[in-house]
A = this chain, B = another copy of it.
Amino acid sequence: MAVVGATMDERVPRDFETLRATILDRRASLPKRIAQIAAYALDNPDDIAFGTAASIAASAGVQPSTLIRFAQQLGFDGFTSLQQVFRERLRERNSSYDERLAALRAKAEEGAGHRAIFDGFVAAASTSLSDISRSLNDAHFEEAVTLLAKAETIYVLAKRRSYPVASYIAYALGKLKIRNQLVESAAGLNAEMIGFATPRDAVIAISFSPYAPATIEETRSIAEQGVPIVAITDSSFSPLAQFAKVWFEVAEADFGGFRSISATMALAMALTVAVGEKRREAGRRRKG
């Protein structure tokens, strides 16, 4: 009568939370050194994720072999597979939204009703917002605000998908009584409009892949006139980046082939209001 292989019975924890629970559960019954490495693992999960068996063992004050025994006792076949769980944890920290998005996409695919589409766009917007919140560089933002606050006229340049953002910026600048010029394509007078810009003005240019040729062309031409440019785009390899004094890289999540614009909007609003704020500060200083 064949005995079933021992490893088949083991329920190997595949995610960090389960692993953590398992360790805490067995903690009392673990031998001294194993318990030592167990405690270390829960206290320094990042070290486990990135270190080598030798370096971790040294930090925890045990032998590498103990580390492996620890992993095996939990049902893994070695340190390497245990480490995967700790690495996954770090990745998921960043991509939990992405997974939710993927799930929603799948649901939408199988025709689960139109609510799924709405949820998808909300999730895409949330993801984009948390991304930009993490990645926005304070110094760049400050630089852009300073640059724009000094401008006599702010030119706003965007086509197609980015156009709504530009129109919002123009609206908000107007509300704040900051002179601005929205460069639209309708009347075909863009070249002339741009021609009036001087180095004392500034530009906000917005374009995402696939970059509207007109936006690129106009940005280039205005840059050549010495007008400083703040660009909002989606990659450092964007053609806009090369013309810009400051540029922001905004990674928008997409759903159903339509990218969110929430992060871009938030950035645009913040820029606009910050410029207004900065001008007010400057005004007070001049008077005071």
Contact = CB atoms under 8 A, between A and B. Distances in A.
B120 A236 contact: no
Interface stretch (A55-63, A69-77, A217-225, A267-275): A267-275
Interface of A: 17, 20, 24, 27, 39, 42-43, 46, 50, 87, 90-91, 93-95, 97, 111, 113-115, 117-122, 124-126, 129-130, 132-134, 136-138, 141-142, 145, 160-161, 163-165, 167-168, 171-172, 175, 186, 235-237, 241, 255-256, 258, 260-262, 265-267, 269-270, 272-274, 277-278, 281
B269 A145 contact: no
Given A125-B262, A258-B172, A265-B125, A91 B50 contact: yes
Contacts of A120: 270
Contact of A117 (B134, B163, B241, B277): B277
Contacts of A258: 172, 175, 269, 272-273
Nearest to A27: B237
A143 to B, nearest CB: 10
A121 B164 contact: no
Contacts of A111: 281
B91 A46 contact: yes
A129 B126 contact: yes
Given A114-B145, A115-B141, A125-B129, 9 more contacts: A46-B90, A114-B142, A119-B133, A125-B266, A129-B129, A164-B164, A167-B167, A258-B269, A261-B265
B118 A270 contact: yes
A266 B270 contact: no
Contacts of A274: 114, 117-118
A113 B137 CA distance: 12
Q: How many copies does the complex hold?
A: 2
Contact of A95 (B46, B91, B168): B46
Nearest to A126: B129
Contact of A114 (B95, B117, B141, B165): B141
Nearest to A187: B186
Pick the most buried of A120, A125, A141, A260: most chain B CB atoms within 10 A of its CB. A125
A256 B175 CA distance: 12
Contacts of A278: 114
Given A164-B171, A167-B164, A270-B117, A236 B24 contact: yes
A266 B121 contact: yes
B270 A121 contact: yes
A95 B129 CA distance: 19
Contacts of A186: 186
**Which 7 pairs between the two chains have the least Cβ-Cβ distance?**
A118-B270, A164-B164, A114-B274, A164-B168, A262-B262, A121-B266, A121-B270
